[in-house]
Amino acid sequence: MTSGLRWDIFCKVIDNYGDIGVCWRLARQLAGCGQAVRLWVDDASALRWMAPLGCPGVEVRPWSESLALADLAPGEVLVEAFGCEIPDEFVACYAAWRSADSRPAAWLNLEYLSAESYVERNHGLCSPVMQGPGRGLSKRFFYPGFTARTGGLLREPGLLQRQADFDRAAWLGQQGIPPIPGAQRVSLFCYEPAALPDLLARLAQQPTPVQLLVTAGRTAAAVQGCARPPGLAVHFLPHLTQDDYDHLLWSCDLNFVRGEDSLVRALWAGQPFVWQIYPQHDKAHHGKLEAFLTQIEAPASLRAAHRSWNGLDAHALSLPDLPGWGASARKARDRLLAQSDLLGRLLEFVGGQPS
């Protein structure tokens, strides 16, 4: 059933990077294995720099108040990403398509990534649609995760070989970053953490010189709003494609990442990293962060750094333990590499849908 299917993925952009980043990565991987994908998105502007060349097999469609549906061929798989609500007019068309050809519906709710215990319990559960044009159909919940009983993580084929073939010096030169003998490189992709001035000060105090590579957007604005400590070399990067963001992570000795997609990329990079989780007003992100740190078996110093960076406590940031954090990151990566990836599990999941 999974050969040559048409997928409709709906995405509402929240912060311009995370949601559309995950959806584009999924769409690109689906197309790479022979699937046809329509990505419906309310704001596709980030794709101009995230994926400027597009991808064969992926069609980006505007998700506006009125959808152009008259010219569409029926799709077999419907994906609502991260709890977005698909317009009734599209659901009505989808229900009509499935009724006309008698093929089973595959309507998936792609959820956010978490290491919390509920993910294993809820992954794959069925939710009957009780009202509206989709009444009589069922949705199924697909939860990305870190264990074999979840939906897994996005990982494209050949990723590790691409990393092994990567020319770090050449890429840094293309970005205009001068070589400094013995320097440590630190990438920064964050929101606006209260601990940012403390981080800049501590990096400037390192016994070896530090080159801080700052991503564009909110991160650059946050750094520009801080006093620049002397002795810290700061380089502001342009917006990077998804592949070049991997190159950034591979080029650095320590990576500060934020949100969901960059966390997964940091795990695959196998370098020391600190994650800033998306903050929630009810502080639900505290438990989510702790569950992740437990899942990757983070050492005490890495746990402390995460708690300080995310504002879970008022402790000052400690100097990074790069050897210890790097060993922890590589062990976590090896455990995850031993599992199947999200795409494989998703195709199997859709193929196994009951009629």
Rounded CA separation 186/201 (Å): 13
Cα-to-chain-centroid distance, residue 198: 27
Tokens of 231: 């002795």
Rounded CA separation 94/134 (Å): 8
Which residues make Cβ contacts (< 8 Å) with residue 173, sequence separation at least 6?
A: none
- 76: annotated active-site residue: no
Tokens of 316: 């000052």
Please name every residue paired with 273 in a beta bridge, in sequence order, or none if there are none. Answer: 255
Which ranges in 66-177 belong to alpha helices (H)?
A: 88-101, 118-122, 159-164, 168-174
Which value, to the nearest 10 degrees, does the dihedral of the CA atoms of residues 342, 139, 17, 8 take?
Answer: 90
Task: Identify which of 291, 353, 354, 298 has the alpha carbon closest to the alpha carbon of residue 145.
Answer: 291
Catalytic residue among 76, 80, 253, 260: 260
For residues 63-79, b (16+ Cβ closer than 10 Å) or e, as one string?
beeebeeeebeebbbbb
- 290: annotated active-site residue: no
Only one residue has tokens 């196994």, namely: 352
Rounded CA separation 70/211 (Å): 53
Q: Give the length of the chain.
A: 355
Please name every residue paired with 184 in a beta bridge, in sequence order, or none if there are none. Answer: 210
Catalytic residue among 19, 80, 261, 341: 19
Find the radius of gyration of the CA atoms of the chain. 21
Residue 162 burial (CB count, 10 A): 14
- Annotated catalytic residues are 19, 260
